[in-house]
Amino acid sequence: MRRDLLPTDAVAAGGTPEAADTGAGTSGAIGDDPGAGRQRLRFYQVGSFAVGNRLADPSQRTVQSDATRSNSLDSGHRACQGCGEALGARYALDAAMRAAGGQLVAVNATGCLEVFSTPYPETSWRIAWLHSLFANAPAVATGVAAAMRVKGRSDVRVVAQAGDGGTVDIGFGCLSGMFERNDDVLFICYDNEAYMNTGVQRSGATPSAARTATTEAIGPDPGAPFGQGKDLPRLAMAHGIPYVATATVADLHDLEDKIERATLMRGARYVHVLVPCPLGWGTASADTIAVARLATQTGLFPVYEAKNGSVTSVSKIRRVQPVEAYLGMQKRFAHLFGTPGRPDIVARIQAIADDSIARFGLLDSHAGEPAERGAR
């Protein structure tokens, strides 16, 4: 129904961008080929999984493989070693820059990404970028989009970005309004599952049982409580906006593809990117991508795409894994392991993963039933 409210001029002014898909419900069902929408490379030693490939046609390589990529977020930033958020932001914004032909404005909420990139007056940003407050990035971005419209700059695309705290908690009011008005903004949430910049406090995106500074690993229910928290991609879908997607730093081709598509669409778009935080999760800095990959291969973080409120494609699990493989490498879950450990809690988390696998149809029949997980 919100489709009627779509500003038709914005769609018409789109130029090359793919117009907002108004055919709600017509675009495929859950379980579409994970590669649907992006071209899958013929077998080239590393197929579609690595960043680039000397043998692949340049048009099929990622933005990141390009020696002339924009490096939107430059070297010298003060993110921790192995920061997933720094990586995810460069992945996303470089893809958006290419899609928008360099005509991009980014609005950033307060959070690590803003703090580590911009200790005034020094900055790591090589794009038009502004920061105002923790809570209001969606509203500021809406204003930027309106200003561009007034100036007749339909070529300029607007991105707003924030951490999970800035998105699911303090910024949620502004964001929900931005969705409801279907403002022409791409909002990217970099989800590291806690308020990292202020010292790892629990957010609405912190997973159950995780230890944070505010959910200590003590008592009968250690870590973050079960049954609380917010699944923002699904909340965004519930707004019926044209485009919602999830992605991780472990699948670059998928992430770039989604950002590119989202950048070119009009109206409110939301992309939720899982970005592991070595400090907050207690992982080795070298494992940032590995742990994100395990989040997807356990089913705990489903990777999918939704148009107008319906899921249109999911990334199938390639090598299904038990949740222990994922939890076990993170110190924030250390209290679940060892002797005696908390196998009951691990089992509850496994049940969450199994639910997510079933809900999104993450397993191909050949990838094995959850019972066979870990076989490969």
Partner 1 sequence: MERPFAITLDVGSSRANHTGSWRVERPVYLDYLPPCNDACPAGENTQRWLYLAESGSYEAAWRALVEDNPFPATMGRVCFHPCETACNRVKVDEAVGINAVERFLGDVALDKGWELPRPGSAADGPARPGTASGRRVLVVGAGPGGLSAAYHLARRGHQVVVADANAEAGGMMRYGIPAYRLPREVLAAEIDRLRPLGVELQLGHVVRDLAAERRDGAYDAVYLGVGAQLARRTDIPAGDSGRVLDALSLLRAAGDGSIELGRRVAVYGGGDTAMDVARTARRLGATDPVIVYRRTRDVMPAHDEELDGAIAEGITVRWLSTIDRFEGGKLVLERMTLGPDNKPVPTGELEELEADTLVLALGESADLSLVEGLDGVQVHDGSVLVDASMMTGAAGIFAGGDVIAGSRTVTDAIGHGKAAARGIDAVLGGEVRAPATRHELASFERLNTWYYDDAPRTIRPELDRIRRQSSFDEVFGSLDETNALFEARRCLSCGNCFECDNCYGVCPDNAVIKLDGAQLDGPPQRRYVVDYDFCKGCGICAAECPCGAIEMIPELI
Residue nearer to ligand TPP on the CB measure, 62 or 117 = 117
Nearer to partner 1, 228 or 285 (CB): 285
Exactly one of 166, 223, 240, 299 binds ligand TPP (CB under 6 A); that residue is 166
Pairing of strands 269-274, 243-248: parallel
| Rounded Cα gap, residues 329 and 281, in angstroms | 9
Quote the tokens at residue 245: 């997607």
Answer yes or no whether residue 163 interacts with ligand TPP by CB under 6 A.
yes
CA quadruple 170, 176, 181, 184: dihedral sign: positive
Among 119, 225, 341, 343, binds partner 1 (CB under 8 A): 119
Cis omega (within 30 of 0) on the bond before 17?
no
- With CB under 5 A as the contact rule, the residue among 17, 88, 138, 163 that binds Mg ion is 163
Of 6 and 235, CB closest to Mg ion: 235
What single letter denotes the amino acid at residue 203? S
Binding residues among 94-153 for Mg ion as defined by CB under 5 A: none
Q: Tell me: does residue 268 bind ligand TPP (CB under 6 A).
A: no
Site for ligand TPP, residues 123 to 142, rule: CB under 6 A: 134-135
CA distance 11 to 25: 19
Kindly state the tokens that stand for 299: 């089913």
Q: Which of 96, 104, 112, 291 binds ligand TPP (CB under 6 A)?
A: 112
Of the pair 198, 285, the CB lying nearest ligand TPP is at 198
Told to check if 2 binds partner 1 by CB under 8 A, we report no
Q: Is position 207 an interface residue for ligand TPP (rule: CB under 6 A)?
A: no
Give the neighbor-by-neighbor strand order of the sheet with 269-274: 128-131, 104-108, 157-163, 186-191, 269-274, 243-248, 304-307, 310-314
Q: Is 196 in the site for Mg ion (CB under 5 A)?
A: yes
Residues 282-341 within binding reach of ligand TPP (CB under 6 A): none
Least distance to partner 1 from the beta carbon of 269, Å?
A: 24
State how far the Cα of 134 lies from the Cα of 256, in Å rounded to an integer.
26
Q: Does 154 bind ligand TPP (CB under 6 A)?
A: no
Q: Which of 23, 121, 152, 219 binds partner 1 (CB under 8 A)?
A: 121
Tell me the closest approach of the beta carbon of residue 201 to Mg ion, in angstroms. 9
Please work out, in degrees rounded to the nearest 5, the angle formed at the alpha carbon of residue 138 by the alpha carbons of 196 and 185: 120
- H/E stretch holding 159 reads strand 157-163
CA distance 30 to 34: 10
CB neighbour list of residue 82: distance below 8 Å, 6 or more residues apart: 278, 284, 285, 286, 287, 288
- Is 162 a binding residue for Mg ion by CB under 5 A? The answer is no
The verdict on 319 binding partner 1 (CB under 8 A) reads yes
Minimum CB distance to ligand TPP, residue 113 (Å): 6
> For ligand TPP, what does the binding mask look like between residues 69 and 88, x meaning CB under 6 A?
----------------x---
Judged by CB, which is closer to partner 1: 116, or 172?
Answer: 116
- Contact between 280 and 200 under an 8 Å Cβ cutoff? The reply is yes
Q: For residues 46 and 238, which CB has a smaller minimum distance to partner 1 in the complex?
A: 46
Q: Which two structure tokens, joined as six digits, stand for 35?
A: 């590669």
Contacts of residue 334, Cβ cutoff 8 Å, sequence gap at least 6 = 211, 217, 282
Stretch that binds Mg ion, among 48-56, 60-68, 102-110, 194-202 (CB under 5 A): 194-202
Q: Give the C-alpha separation, 268 to 150, whole Å.
A: 18
User: How many other CB atoms are found less than 10 A from the CB of residue 320?
Assistant: 25
- Least spacing, CB of residue 88 vs partner 1, in Å: 9
Residue from the set 254, 260, 287, 305 that interacts with partner 1 by CB under 8 A: 287
Binding site for ligand TPP (CB under 6 A): 85, 110-113, 134-135, 162-166, 192, 195-198, 203
Binding site for Mg ion (CB under 5 A): 163-164, 192, 196
